[in-house]
Amino acid sequence: MTSMVFSECSTSTASRLLPRSLRKDAVVLVRRLSLPRRSCAWMAPLSRRTLAVGAAAPTSPPPSVAIEACAKVIDGKYVAKQIRDEISAEVSRMKEAIGVVPGLAVILVGDRKDSATYVRNKKKACESVGINSFEVHLPEDSEEEDVLKFISGFNDDPSVHGILVQLPLPSHMNEQGILNAVTLEKDVDGFHPLNIGRLAMRGREPLFVPCTPKGCIELLHRYGIGIKGKRAVVIGRSNIVGMPAALLLQREDATISIVHSRTQNPEEIVREADIIIAAVGQANMVRGTWIKPGAVIIDVGINPVEDSKSSRGYKLVGDVCYEEACKVASAITPVPGGVGPMTIAMLLSNTLTSAKRAHNFQ
């Protein structure tokens, strides 16, 4: 767990602080806000990925989520369950047709509780869809060679279709060297430089796309949110989230800007966005005043903040001040329950894709 931060965001400032340039939209916004408080229309995901992006969402409501504001909730938990069901059906079909079960190997080094929890969750998710999971847990003081030995074994094992090294690794290990040792064909995390390089190049296809950014884009697709021609701002440029998210949006013909820790006037840049992907790791950094009315927000951040009402003493919030943003945006992912569940669903999806590719199974 990262260090605890206390960062509240007020619920009362968003509309008052809207900049002059947005005042026309603000009139509409204020009208919306002055409606009696009610649950907002729930934004239903399209039932299958194959539906065209931009198509109208079906009217049948997914499980109801009552919120007080007007942005529609993009429910990652619900979509992730849909995806797991689809994967489960494909795993059964593959097993029946050719007798192959996809397999995912996870290597954990050390005793970090958060890492152990992530690995446990991945194992459970594999079980839930019928994917075999293989786990190696090495002590904190292991040698790099020990990790490399297991990677090499899994690289050669035909029953393993995906290999994941849980990060962070202990500081005495060379993370780059270890990640590079995972064979490209089993790099279900999508972190291999060749996969990232292909993602960045026109006309090239990566074998795998990193799970969290892939999950962000999948949410936009499943909710029928058009990307082509839109202004998109990604906040954060990490190798695992921000940078690949920007590359993916660009591949989908969005016009992208990337905001990072050295960016001057980030609010001004973010305010131009039709689509915001926030992956910073700063609780409630993006305020309501940063958001163009009607923008769509995908909040990747997971930040613990003090919460005396919670038995744990803290709660998790995103990088976007939800209470303010949901009064300005047209759609938003909650934290928790937004991008988080999608990351594991995408890992399962990448593992299935890998197994299908290895066995030429359509």
Angle between helices 211-222 and 339-358 (to 10 degrees): 100
Q: Which residues contact 83 (CB under 8 A, 6 or more apart)?
A: 218, 342, 345, 346, 348, 349
Does 213 participate in binding ligand NAP (rule CB under 6 A)? no
Single residue of 84, 192, 221, 237 touching ligand NAP by CB under 6 A? 237
Of 136 and 279, nearer to ligand NAP (C-beta) is: 279
- The residue range among 102-110, 182-190, 230-238, 320-328 that interacts with ligand NAP, by the rule CB under 6 A, is 230-238
d(CA 282, CA 360): 43
Q: Which residues are catalytic?
A: 122, 166, 189
Of 57 and 240, nearer to ligand NAP (C-beta) is: 240
Of 15 and 122, nearer to ligand NAP (C-beta) is: 122
Does 257 participate in binding ligand NAP (rule CB under 6 A)? no
Q: What is the separation of C-alpha 136 from the centre of its chain, rounded to a whole number of angstroms? A: 25
Instruction: Report the site for ligand NAP in 287-306 (rule: CB under 6 A).
Output: 300-303
Instruction: Report the site for ligand NAP in 317-346 (rule: CB under 6 A).
Output: 339-340, 343
Of 220 and 302, nearer to ligand NAP (C-beta) is: 302
d(CA 273, CA 235): 11
Of 40 and 211, nearer to ligand NAP (C-beta) is: 211
Pair of tokens at residue 352: 């299935």
Single residue of 260, 315, 356, 359 touching ligand NAP by CB under 6 A? 260
- The residue range among 49-57, 123-131, 165-173, 279-287 that interacts with ligand NAP, by the rule CB under 6 A, is 279-287
CB of 303 to ligand NAP, least distance (A): 5
Residue 123, beta-bridge partner list: none
Of 58 and 168, nearer to ligand NAP (C-beta) is: 168
* Burial of 251 (C-beta count, 10 Å sphere; 0-12/13-18/19+): middle
Does 188 participate in binding ligand NAP (rule CB under 6 A)? no
List the one residue out of 177, 183, 101, 173 whose CA is nearest residue 140.
173
Does 131 participate in binding ligand NAP (rule CB under 6 A)? no
Count the alpha carbons within 13 Å of 120 in the hemisphere toward its beta carbon: 7
CB of 284 to ligand NAP, least distance (A): 12
Single residue of 166, 195, 212, 333 touching ligand NAP by CB under 6 A? 212
N-to-C CA span, the chain: 41
DSSP per-residue string spanning 104-153:
EEEEEES--HHHHHHHHHHHHHHHHHT-EEEEEEE-TT--HHHHHHHHHH
CB of 258 to ligand NAP, least distance (A): 8
Single residue of 152, 238, 250, 330 touching ligand NAP by CB under 6 A? 238
d(CA 70, CA 35): 10
DSSP per-residue string spanning 274-304:
SEEEE----TT-B-GGGS-TT-EEEE---EE
- The residue range among 43-51, 65-73, 196-204, 274-282 that interacts with ligand NAP, by the rule CB under 6 A, is 274-282
Pairing of strands 303-306, 314-317: antiparallel
Binding site for ligand NAP (CB under 6 A): 212, 235-238, 240-242, 259-263, 266, 279-282, 300-303, 339-340, 343
